[in-house]
Structure 1
Amino acid sequence: MSRHAAELNLDNPHDRGNRPSRLPAWAQWAGIALLIAAVVASGIWSGTEHWRRATFSLGVAVMWLGVLRLTCDSKILGVFAVRSVKFDVAFCLVTGGLMTFLAASVDSLGS
């Protein structure tokens, strides 16, 4: 295998035929930083018993992960790149969308 081919080979075996991301590495890392910030915010809201905000922000974070999976290299995403891009994106968007819908649709009961 040539050096060029080795550089194009991404770490996830499901991504062998995929092209590298068009985004620069710093933009990919910034997207991951936003993901981590949303998960941390969700955890803080969960700890302060604001479960609707926590669920909503976690759902948005999971949908954001779907966008990241679509636009970032699996080498940078690491453990967030589980299966093929199509599966990961579909799973993240559906799961995050359901979580967000659940949090937005439940009545706050005056809280």
Structure 2
Amino acid sequence: MRSSYVPGIDNPHDVDLSPSVVPRFIQRVFLALLVVAFLVAVGFALTEHWRRATFLLGGALVWLSVIRVTCDSRELGVLAVRSRRFDALFTLLIGGVMAFLAVSVDPLGS
């Protein structure tokens, strides 16, 4: 149904998808957890805890892929870039690689 599409507000890739079954409040809690994870990762990076920052940022991207699948594009705003499937797979791949690299690289101080 393209008649419900509002230019500039809705993601044109997700117009035909049904609304999320997750309540709007829970969707916003999911987003708040994502923002907290990003802020903590930035805090780790600023205090030069690079491995922790990279691992947490990778975990946040994996969480974003879960959010992208379960939440509406309108709630996600600019985080809903392409189709739901593409965004979820892309953030899952990048986040998984980042977390893997953070865990697998030897620490320099040992």
TM-score (norm 2): 0.91
1:86 maps to which residue?
Answer: 85
Taking only the aligned residue pairs, the percentage that are identical comes to 54
Unaligned runs of 5+ in 1: none
Deviation at 1:85, TM superposition (A): 0.7
Distance 2:19 2:49 in 1: 39
Question: 3-state SS of the aligned residue for 1:21?
Answer: coil
CA RMSD of aligned residues (A): 1.7
8 Å CA contact 2:61–2:92 kept in 1: the answer is yes
Counterpart code for 2:10: D
**1:22-101 aligned within 5 A:** 22-101=21-100
Distance 1:95 1:19 in 2: 27
Deviation at 1:16, TM superposition (A): 1.0
Q: Number of residue pairs matched?
A: 106
Counterpart code for 1:92: T
Question: 3-state SS of the aligned residue for 1:55?
Answer: helix
TM-score (norm 1): 0.90
1:6 maps to which residue?
Answer: 4
Counterpart code for 1:75: R
Which structure 1 residue ranges, 4+ long, deviate > 3 Å from structure 2?
none
Deviates more, 1:63-72 or 1:10-19: 10-19
